[in-house]
Amino acid sequence: MPEFFNVKPPRCALEGLLSRLKIDTRSELVPTTEALGRVTTGDIISSEQLPAFPRSSMDGYSVRAKDTFGATESLPAYLEVSGEVLMGASPEVRVRPGYAAIAYTGGLLGEGADAVVMIEHTNRVNDKTVEIVRPVAPGENVIQQGEDIGTRDTVLKKGHQIRPQDIGALMALGITEIAVAARPRVAIVSTGDELVSPEMTPSPGQIRDINTYTIAAAVTQAGGVPVPIGLVQDDYDAQREAALTGLTNSDILVFSAGSSVSSRDMTAQVLDAIGKPGILTHGIAHKPGKPTVIALIDNKPAFGLPGNPVSAFVVFGILVRPTIHSLMGYKMPLRSSTVVARLSRNVSSMTGREDHVPVNLYEQDDVLIAEPVFGKSNLIYTLVRSEGVVVVPLDSGGLYSGDEVTVTLY
Amino acid sequence: MPEFFNVKPPRCALEGLLSRLKIDTRSELVPTTEALGRVTTGDIISSEQLPAFPRSSMDGYSVRAKDTFGATESLPAYLEVSGEVLMGASPEVRVRPGYAAIAYTGGLLGEGADAVVMIEHTNRVNDKTVEIVRPVAPGENVIQQGEDIGTRDTVLKKGHQIRPQDIGALMALGITEIAVAARPRVAIVSTGDELVSPEMTPSPGQIRDINTYTIAAAVTQAGGVPVPIGLVQDDYDAQREAALTGLTNSDILVFSAGSSVSSRDMTAQVLDAIGKPGILTHGIAHKPGKPTVIALIDNKPAFGLPGNPVSAFVVFGILVRPTIHSLMGYKMPLRSSTVVARLSRNVSSMTGREDHVPVNLYEQDDVLIAEPVFGKSNLIYTLVRSEGVVVVPLDSGGLYSGDEVTVTLY
């Protein structure tokens, strides 16, 4: 009976792949307004400053700060109103010593003014005169030229994933187009004589394909483009043909099923035969997902995921998703989507193996509880019924009820 | 000087809107493969069971469990091999007492078998005979019919946001099309005489529009469809016209700027005049974002966000995003994207006001640290330079360095 002799910890297996991969991120120009979620391929540098002129951060009066020194409620400073700086207009109003000009939030100061008194600290005595009841320091309530961002500043670093605020900030500088990583194309092949397309009614012994669809959606979510190649039978030549087709049109190849070591399992053979260096890892120290194949084929990563839909989905998350991110040059820490909770009961594991435990979350006395989802771990509906996953680390024999755990949300 | 007399806590303001809103979610049918991120508008019920037949969960031999009782390494049970149940094929092999049939992971058992012995616990003696070295209980290594999901089971509840595993699980049942909430359309109006389009070079006193773009991207991220109406000057008739245009084509109306109480601020007036009941809230106990308008116009929610891009973005997150989710009937707890960290320094606040403090995250001695981002809080680049936000609650006067805080990631 063949066995896995050299299972590798998932992290080592992934590093083994990425360290051998020559990453050459393809770049494409997109309108900034369509760049949400895309990843920059170079530093983006500002060619202007923001704000372009000193702006008032309050409604009130622009003044020379010196003219307000010592002003109090009982002994106000009286300034003459020289006019109003309208929004969007050039400052045609001068603020000479002893003068003030009406200023609006976001607007310019009068020429010669160096601070703004909030309207709350003024009383308009008459058309010509305003009373100032608190002093301001030079620069007070003013956003200086370039205070938000300066000329030649780095706006966004290379490898940054674009968020809504980044889009607004780029548009503020007139940067209406940016270079981002092309979405990696991921070819998906589902293998197995028992598989039929979901539109069909399976005969006894047949089942509908799940992996093509779960993996395609996960590819989209990770920022890639899924390229489904279709269903392939347990036949060496057919699988080899599908692998070659997938690799021609894509950056990454994902097989599912056939990744174990029995006579029916041909993925490792197929992936090893079609290019160099071939198989890097066969077997990872992870549950579920031990029978996993990692290969590098003429500088394109290829994966043989287990046929079980839960295992395939889990291994996708620990190996394929980070590979998609690497191909895009994604540099931000992957901190998203975790919550801290207390485990509702003991979970056993094995030292030397990383375990993936699906959980549900609920609140009890204001404490977030993670409840491991019952059911055999290889049923797709255990994933549907769970909100996230707790990872039992490689060096742990299990977790105890009441332990604080980090739940990665699906 | 006009003031805000009745600022409301953000949560009350939102509840005040949602409780008055008659929600009538529009439903549309989409292919399951395109439903990622969409929200179900009804319970989805299974019309089949999964698995449709008892399946082996191991490679091995299907047997009658009784025939293996008492089998050990030293005293194995010997069974005659009656054949092999091929993947995807009907079970044409019988397993009578004293017989076993080759079984594959995911495949059927031989007819009459009630358990599977793992291949690791067998030795093939010759073509005809297999040695069993451990007993199995009835049902062992078998996934029973309907064990994953039963006929008439609820597959997904109403208000569920579709994830990759849900797509696979639906396809497994042949559910290739589902009813989801239509994406709410959100009309976006940016107001202000000083605003120009990002393609233009601003003259002194002018600035490029930011809010249309930040808000549009945030709408997309929240599951809505942004409908930009364009730039509108500080003119009552023009704003009224833009509001009416926006409402005609959309489910939600979002104004930015003009939401405060000075003479230039017309949003409240405009939103109050065009439909019933009009303004619900003017002023929220939140920093940034106090000058915010919430209105309900002939059962369509309308918001007047502050003109400052940071305030507009923050208030969008606390008011507009949950409103978009409500219109879709989204029911899942919004738990995503938070991490727990320790605050790197004191943050002062005011009791009775919720504060939104942008932070960066870094690790120090294996502890995640949240470092408040320096800079005036109303500059768009403070948001670009930060990874998330810490909320100082309404009833708190501030937070201390070293406090454990929950950071909501952007």
- Tens of pLDDT, residues B286-335: 989 999 999 999 999 999 999 999 999 999 999 999 999 999 999 766 55
How many residues are listed for chain A in this entry?
410
Q: Are strands B115-118 and B60-63 parallel, antiparallel or unpaired?
A: antiparallel
Element (H, E) at B312: helix B309-315
CA distances from A137 to A113, A141, A389, B307, B354 (A): 12, 9, 54, 25, 28
| pLDDT at residue B403 is higher than 90 | yes
Q: Where residue B369 falls among pLDDT bands split at 50, 70, 90?
A: very high
Cβ separation A208–B174 shorter than 8 A: yes
Spatial separation of the C-alpha atoms in residues A398 and A343, rounded to whole Å: 11
Count how many pairs of residues, chain A against chain B, have C-beta atoms within 8 Å: 265
Spatial separation of the C-alpha atoms in residues B84 and B96, rounded to whole Å: 14
| pLDDT at residue B1 is higher than 50 | no
More confident residue, B279 or A376: B279
Virtual CA dihedral for B79, B84, B89, B93, nearest 10 degrees? -40
**Looking at chain A from residue 219 to 278, which residues have their Cβ under 8 Å from any Cβ of chain B?**
220-221, 234, 260, 262, 264
Spatial separation of the C-alpha atoms in residues B144 and B157, rounded to whole Å: 24
Assigned CATH topology for domain A338-409:
Beta-clip (2.40.340)
Q: What is the pLDDT of residue B335?
A: 55
Average pLDDT, chain A: 93
In chain A, the percentage of residues whose pLDDT exceeds 90 is 81
User: Residue B107's closest chain A neighbor by CA?
Assistant: A205
- Tens of pLDDT, residues B204-249: 899 999 999 999 999 999 999 999 999 999 999 999 999 999 999 8
Among B51, B193, B221, beta carbon nearest to A36: B221
Give the global pTM: 0.92
Question: B195 touching A, CB under 8 A?
Answer: yes
Tokens of residue A402, six digits: 């009441």
**In sequence order, what are the residues at sequence separation of 6 or more whose Cβ sits closer than 8 angstroms to the Cβ of residue B218?**
A164, B313, B316, B317, B320, B321
**In sequence order, what are the residues at sequence separation of 6 or more whose Cβ sits closer than 8 angstroms to the Cβ of residue B67?**
B77, B79, B97, B98, B100, B132
Question: B203 touching A, CB under 8 A?
Answer: yes
Residues of A in contact with B209 (CB under 8 A): 171
Question: A46 touching B, CB under 8 A?
Answer: no
DSSP state for residue A121 in the 8-state scheme? G
Question: B214 touching A, CB under 8 A?
Answer: yes
Question: B218 touching A, CB under 8 A?
Answer: yes
| pLDDT at residue B337 is higher than 80 | no
Among B86, B88, B214, beta carbon nearest to A168: B214
- Tens of pLDDT, residues A160-216: 999 999 999 999 999 999 999 999 999 999 999 999 999 999 998 999 999 999 999
At residue B78, the 3 state secondary structure works out as strand
Q: Where residue B336 falls among pLDDT bands split at 50, 70, 90?
A: low
| pLDDT at residue B264 is higher than 90 | no
CATH classification code of A10-26+182-327:
3.40.980.10
| pLDDT at residue B3 is higher than 80 | no
| pLDDT at residue A32 is higher than 70 | yes
Cβ separation B176–A192 shorter than 8 A: no
ipTM: 0.92
Cβ separation A234–B87 shorter than 8 A: yes
CB contact at 8 A, B209 and B231: yes
- Tens of pLDDT, residues A282-291: 999 998 999 9
Q: Are strands B347-348 and A142-143 parallel, antiparallel or unpaired?
A: unpaired
**Looking at chain B from residue 295 to 354, which residues have their Cβ under 8 Å from any Cβ of chain A?**
307-309, 313, 333, 335-340
CB contact at 8 A, A301 and A17: yes
Question: B215 touching A, CB under 8 A?
Answer: yes
Spatial separation of the C-alpha atoms in residues A101 and A56, rounded to whole Å: 12
Phi, psi of A159, deg, nearest 5: 85, 15
Q: Are strands A185-191 and A225-232 parallel, antiparallel or unpaired?
A: parallel
Q: How distant is the Cα of A276 from the closest Cα of chain B, in angstroms?
A: 31
Q: Where residue A333 falls among pLDDT bands split at 50, 70, 90?
A: low
Element (H, E) at A271: helix A267-273
Which of A46, A87, A162 is best to mutate for the B interface (most B CBs within 10 A)?
A87
DSSP state for residue A164 in the 8-state scheme? H
Average pLDDT, chain B: 93
Q: Range with the lowest mean pLDDT among A13-22, A369-378, B162-171?
A: A369-378
Nearest to A106 by CA among A149, A59, A56, A168: A56
In chain A, the percentage of residues whose pLDDT exceeds 70 is 97
Tokens of residue B407, six digits: 């950071």
Q: Are strands B338-343 and B388-392 parallel, antiparallel or unpaired?
A: unpaired
At residue A4, the 3 state secondary structure works out as coil
- Tens of pLDDT, residues B47-83: 999 999 999 999 999 999 999 999 999 999 999 999 9
Going from N- to C-terminal start, the domains of chain B cover 10-26+182-327, 27-50+151-181, 55-143, 338-409
Q: What is the pLDDT of residue A1?
A: 42
In chain B, the percentage of residues whose pLDDT exceeds 70 is 96
Cβ atoms < 10 Å from Cβ of A269: 17
Q: How distant is the Cα of A92 from the closest Cα of chain B, in angstroms?
A: 11
Spatial separation of the C-alpha atoms in residues A141 and A130, rounded to whole Å: 18
CATH 3.30.70.260 fits B55-143, yes or no: no
**Looking at chain A from residue 135 to 174, which residues have their Cβ under 8 Å from any Cβ of chain B?**
143, 147-149, 155-156, 163-169, 171-174
CATH 3.10.20.310 fits B27-50+151-181, yes or no: no
